[in-house]
């Protein structure tokens, strides 16, 4: 390892030592480090991607931690670029306001607020909102768009400053951020410090059970340090003077966990959903290494099918491209060994056009260039969005092109339909 990273030897949530290594994925560069043509001569460092399981609380996490300055120096992802998030955030915000009525002049703080997409839903209701996000350029653009956003890391010091200057928050939210936090104890101390006495902390994060069940392995990359279960978070909150009072599963990101927590001894009762989800996790054996052995076996079966198909297509001199250029695609390309197999990738995010993938340096083109390049086959690397992509590019199928869906079961989609 270099000084740019270190290897963790204890659980991020409960501090138990000697975690069990349950899966060694292919080492990769930083997943979001897509580069420009001018940067092609620069070496991109590869980091291990080893997954460990805490035997005590069941938290799953990667062992090799890259320094935040390296991870986020080129961070470009904005929430608005995800095709399913706008509608999801609208429903999510309405659900919070319905279930947790707010007093006049209530304040909402979103930690990891990105471009303010979520906070905008609360602002529309006339509420006082504030975002916090360490990606300074994105934070500045959010502020300029009308969502005040502090370009800082959220910690106990900032929480105290905010409480002293602006007062406590009735609701603190954090979506797809907790998995990126290394010092979770300091993080939750900051949440506790800023909340009103009867305030709530509402969060969404990747859900370990759905990652395993739905084969969403490509959500594992260096920015995502942890993969939480309800069981592990329930214990974590108890150990940090808070209570998990509600939990549910939502469909975003291949399956996410939505949780609600309050200060210990708060007035709201714990709903049965928390213990029901923990019971389901225990019955599934989520805190055992066997589930990862099975996941790897299922993935490798589809990987071998895909590589065999690609080999046969290339023997027939067929051209093959990919569709998708996200963080997840980096993990996918390395794990499936596709770095030398694809001529180019197509994507819908204008920020990725004419860039190159991390490590492999595969060129990325606008999805509209499908009709100029006319590849014989396109592998949908963003496989969770396969239906939307196929619907958007029905013309490609009509012109004789074919999509390859790699997961959860490999299949080929042509004009006539799907071929398994």
Interatomic CA distance for residues 48 and 287, integer angstroms: 23
Within the chain, which residue ranges are assigned CATH 3.40.50.720?
Answer: 291-419
pTM, full prediction: 0.93
Residues 6+ apart with CB under 8 A from 378: 320, 321, 322, 323, 346, 370, 396, 401, 402, 403, 404
What is the pLDDT, as a whole number, of residue 1? Answer: 40
Residue 249 has which token pair?
Answer: 């599963």
With both helix axes pointing from N to C terminus, report the angle between 156-166 and 184-194 in degrees, rounded to the nearest 10: 10
Measured CA distances, 74 to 334, 358, 363 (Å): 20, 12, 18
Interatomic CA distance for residues 76 and 23, integer angstroms: 29
What is the pLDDT, as a whole number, of residue 146? Answer: 96
Asked if residue 23 lies in contact with residue 50, where contact means CB atoms within 8 angstroms, the answer is: yes
Instruction: State yes or no: pLDDT of 253 exceeds 90.
Output: no
Residue with tokens 């210990």: 264
Interatomic CA distance for residues 156 and 113, integer angstroms: 17
Residue with tokens 């043509």: 37
What is the pLDDT, as a whole number, of residue 128? Answer: 95
* Closest by Cα among 347, 384, 382 to 363: 347
- For the chain, the maximum distance between any two Cα atoms, rounded to a whole number of angstroms, is 69
Instruction: State yes or no: pLDDT of 282 exceeds 60.
Output: yes
Instruction: State yes or no: pLDDT of 215 exceeds 90.
Output: yes
Within the chain, which residue ranges are assigned CATH 3.40.50.150?
Answer: 79-287
How would residue 370 be classed by pLDDT, with cut points 50, 70 and 90? very high
* Closest by Cα among 189, 264, 184, 277 to 229: 277
SS3 state at 277? helix
| Beta strand spans in 285-329 (E) | 320-323
Instruction: State yes or no: pLDDT of 281 exceeds 60.
Output: yes
Q: Is the CATH code 3.30.365.10 the one for domain 291-419?
A: no
Instruction: State yes or no: pLDDT of 420 exceeds 60.
Output: no
Burial of 100 (0-12, 13-18, 19+ CB in 10 A): middle
* Mean pLDDT confidence for 143-162: 95
How would residue 2 be classed by pLDDT, with cut points 50, 70 and 90? very low
What is the pLDDT, as a whole number, of residue 75? Answer: 65
**Percent of the chain at pLDDT above 70?**
96
Interatomic CA distance for residues 43 and 282, integer angstroms: 44
**Domain topology for 79-287:** Rossmann fold (3.40.50)
Instruction: State yes or no: pLDDT of 46 exceeds 90.
Output: yes
How would residue 80 be classed by pLDDT, with cut points 50, 70 and 90? low
What is the pLDDT, as a whole number, of residue 342? Answer: 97
Residue 377 has which token pair?
Answer: 């086959």
* Mean pLDDT confidence for 172-201: 96
Average pLDDT, the chain: 94
Interatomic CA distance for residues 109 and 165, integer angstroms: 14
What is the pLDDT, as a whole number, of residue 159? Answer: 97
Interatomic CA distance for residues 235 and 251, integer angstroms: 24
* Mean pLDDT confidence for 42-51: 94
**Percent of the chain at pLDDT above 90?**
87
Asked if residue 131 lies in contact with residue 162, where contact means CB atoms within 8 angstroms, the answer is: no
What is the pLDDT, as a whole number, of residue 43? Answer: 87
What is the pLDDT, as a whole number, of residue 256? Answer: 96
């Amino acid at each position: 390892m270099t000084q740019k990273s270190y290897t963790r030897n204890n659980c991020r949530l409960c501090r138990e030592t000697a975690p069990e290594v349950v899966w060694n994925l292919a080492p990769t560069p930083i997943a979001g480090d897509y580069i420009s043509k001018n940067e092609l001569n620069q070496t991109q460092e590869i980091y291990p991607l080893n997954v460990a399981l805490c035997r005590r609380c069941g938290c799953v996490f990667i062992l090799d931690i890259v320094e935040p300055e390296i991870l986020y120096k080129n961070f470009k992802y904005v929430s608005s670029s995800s095709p399913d998030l706008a509608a999801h955030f609208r429903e999510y915000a309405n659900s919070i306001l319905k279930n947790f009525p707010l007093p006049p002049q209530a304040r909402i703080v979103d930690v990891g607020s990105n471009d303010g997409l979520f906070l905008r839903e609360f602002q529309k209701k006339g509420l006082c909102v504030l975002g916090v996000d360490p990606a300074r350029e994105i934070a500045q653009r959010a502020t300029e768009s009308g969502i005040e956003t502090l370009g800082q890391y959220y910690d106990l010091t900032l929480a105290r400053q905010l409480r002293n200057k602006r007062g406590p928050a009735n609701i603190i939210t954090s979506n797809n951020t907790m998995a990126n936090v290394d010092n979770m104890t300091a993080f939750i101390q900051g949440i506790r410090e800023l909340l009103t006495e009867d305030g709530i902390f509402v969060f969404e994060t990747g859900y370990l059970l759905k990652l395993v069940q739905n084969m969403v392995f490509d959500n594992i990359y260096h920015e995502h340090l942890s993969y939480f279960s309800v069981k592990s978070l329930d214990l974590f909150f108890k150990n940090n003077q808070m209570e998990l009072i509600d939990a549910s599963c939502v469909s975003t990101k291949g399956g996410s966990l939505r949780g609600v927590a309050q200060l210990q001894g708060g007035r709201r009762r714990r709903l049965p959903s928390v213990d029901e989800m923990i019971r389901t996790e225990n019955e599934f054996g989520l805190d055992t290494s066997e589930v990862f052995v099975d996941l790897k076996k299922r993935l490798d079966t589809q990987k071998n099918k895909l590589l065999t198909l690609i080999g046969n297509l290339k023997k027939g001199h067929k051209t093959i491209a990919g569709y998708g250029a996200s963080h997840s695609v980096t993990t996918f390309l390395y794990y499936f060994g596709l770095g030398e197999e694809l001529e180019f990738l197509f994507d819908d995010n204008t920020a990725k056009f004419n860039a190159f993938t991390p490590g492999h340096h595969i060129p990325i083109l606008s999805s509209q260039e499908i009709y100029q390049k006319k590849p014989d086959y396109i592998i949908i690397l963003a496989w969770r969005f396969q239906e939307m992509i196929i619907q958007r590019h029905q013309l490609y199928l009509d012109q004789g092109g074919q999509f390859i869906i790699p997961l959860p079961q490999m299949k080929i989609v042509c004009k006539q339909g799907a071929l398994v």
